Amino acid sequence: MESLVRSSLVNYAPASNLMHNEKIREMMAAGETVFHFGFGQSPFPLMENAVEKLKKHAGEHAYLPVAGIRELRESIRDFHQRYDTITVNADDVIVGPGSKELIFLLMNIFEGDILVISPSWTSYKPQVMLSGHEAKIIPTSYDSEWKITPEIINEFLKTNDVSETKLLILNNPDNPTGTHYTKQELSKLSEVFRKNKVLVLADEIYARLTYKGNEFVSMATVYPEGTILCSGMSKWASMGGWRLGYHIYPPELSSLKNAVRGAASHTYTTVAAPIQYAIAEILQDFNICDKYIQHTNRIMNAVGSYCHSELESVGIKAVLPKGGYYIFPNFEILRQALKKRGVEKCEDMVTTMFNETSVSVMAGGPAFLRPENEFTVRLCYVNFDGEKALKESYRIGIDNPLPDNFVHTLCTPVHDGIQALKTWVTKQLSE
What angle is formed at CA 249 by the lines to CA 273 and CA 265, rounded to 5 degrees? 40
Reported as a single tens digit per residue, the pLDDT across 38-69 is: 988 999 999 999 999 999 999 999 999 999 99
Residue 101 pLDDT greater than 80, yes or no: yes
Q: What is the pLDDT of residue 383?
A: 95
Per CATH, the number for 7-45+288-430 is: 3.90.1150.10
* Closest to 333 measured CA to CA, from 421, 416, 415: 421
Residue 19 has pLDDT above 70, yes or no: no
367 pLDDT above the threshold of 70? yes
Alpha-carbon gap, residue 84 to 43, rounded angstroms = 25
Residue-level pLDDT at 11: 67
Percent of the chain scoring above 90 in pLDDT: 90
Which candidate, 215, 185, 175, places its Cα nearest to that of 17? 175
Question: What is the pLDDT, as a whole number, of residue 301?
Answer: 98
Q: What is the CATH number of domain 57-284?
A: 3.40.640.10
R_g of the chain, CA atoms, integer Å: 22
- Other Cβ atoms less than 10 A from the Cβ of 194: the count is 12
Q: Is 211 left (phi over 0), alpha (psi -120 to 50) or beta?
A: alpha
Confidence band, pLDDT 50/70/90 cuts, at residue 20? low
Beginning with the edge strand found earlier in the chain, give each strand of the sheet holding 326-327 in spatial order. Answer: 326-327, 377-380, 362-363
Q: Taking all residues of the chain, what is their mean pLDDT, rounded to a whole number?
A: 94
Q: Report the pLDDT value the prediction gives residue 158, as an integer from 0 to 100.
A: 95
Interacting residues of 300 by C-beta distance below 8 A, sequence separation 6+ = 209, 211, 324, 325, 381
Query: What would the pLDDT profile of 287-331 be if each residue is shown by its tens digit?
Result: 999 999 999 999 999 999 999 999 999 999 999 999 999 999 999
Whether 118 has a pLDDT exceeding 90, the answer reads yes
Amino acid present at 270:
T
Length of the chain: 431
Specify the pLDDT at position 50.
Answer: 97
pLDDT exceeds cutoff 80 at 15: no
Write the single-letter amino acid at 24.
Answer: I
Pairing of strands 227-232, 245-248: antiparallel
User: Residue 394 above 60 pLDDT?
Assistant: yes
Start-end of H helices in 35-98: 50-56, 70-83
The residues that bridge with 377 in the sheet, in sequence order, are: 363
pLDDT above 80 (res 29): no
Q: What is the pLDDT of residue 34?
A: 82
> Where in the chain are the domains?
7-45+288-430, 57-284
The CA distance from 118 to 347, in Å, is 18
The model's pTM is: 0.93
pLDDT of 28 reads 66
Average pLDDT over residues 122-140: 95
